[in-house]
Amino acid sequence: MKGENGPLVHELFGRGDYGLISEIVEPGSCVLDLGCGEGELLAWLAEHKDVDARGVEISPAKLQKAIAKGVSAYQGDIETCLADYPDKAFDYVLLSQTLQEIRYPLQVMKDILRVSRRAIVAFPNFGHFSVRLAHLFNGRAPKTKLFPYDWYDSPNIHFLTVDDFEILAARQNWQVERRYFLSGTREVKSFPNLMAEVAVFVVSNR
């Protein structure tokens, strides 16, 4: 049950979602990466796609590495940093594996779609069968490859599934331009809510 039939996606820095993002973003775009870490994705986009690369990172140690790579990043909190920006300042805002960690994800999504033409949102799918099985058979907060943390020590404060995101998008009248589902580095073509480990959505306002 690993979605063996899907095609392999291109990996970047060992991550399928990075690989997808690197293909989606058009050359010369202006991109903001929320939670850019050490800036490897942005530095790659600047180097190979001539992207105007901006980043926000809360950890000073990671931020320092990002700036040292030549990425225009600054220390900031994802929940508050977008308020300063003018409307549609960016072509893409990236939120990679962070949506489940922020306190007010809906507000952040709304802010993103105000400052950017599109959002690329990647998140781990809590609906994946391994999570369901772990919970069903252990009766405890799931601890899996996808969610490797103990409940008391986890950065994840929301547990959303592929279907949850689709429902929210429909309710908010967002346009889901593209959707990709990954299991490891393979694309999942059927039953994504059950089979996808990671979902990548390209979203815009209608």
CB of 13 to other proteins, least distance (A): 18
CB of 31 to other proteins, least distance (A): 12
Q: Which of 16, 3, 14, 6 is nearest to 200 (CA)?
A: 16
Q: Beta partners for 141?
A: none
Q: Is 155 in the site for other proteins (CB under 8 A)?
A: no
- From residue 159 to residue 198, the character string flagging contacts with other proteins as x (rule: CB under 8 A) and all else as - is ----------------------------------------
Contact set for other proteins, span 1-60 (CB under 8 A): 30, 46, 50, 52, 54, 60
Pick 117 or 143: Cβ nearer other proteins: 117
Pick 39 or 127: Cβ nearer other proteins: 39
Pick 70 or 157: Cβ nearer other proteins: 70
Sequence-distant (≥ 6) Cβ neighbours of residue 137 within 8 angstroms: none
Give the CA distances from residue 39 to residues 14, 31, 126, 148, in Å, rounded to whole numbers and listed in that order: 15, 12, 26, 23
Q: H-type helices in the chain, by residue range? A: 16-24, 40-49, 60-68, 78-81, 105-115, 129-138, 162-171, 192-195
N- to C-terminal Cα separation, the chain: 36
Give the binding site for other proteins (CB under 8 A): 30, 46, 50, 52, 54, 60, 63-64, 67-75, 81, 84-86, 89-90
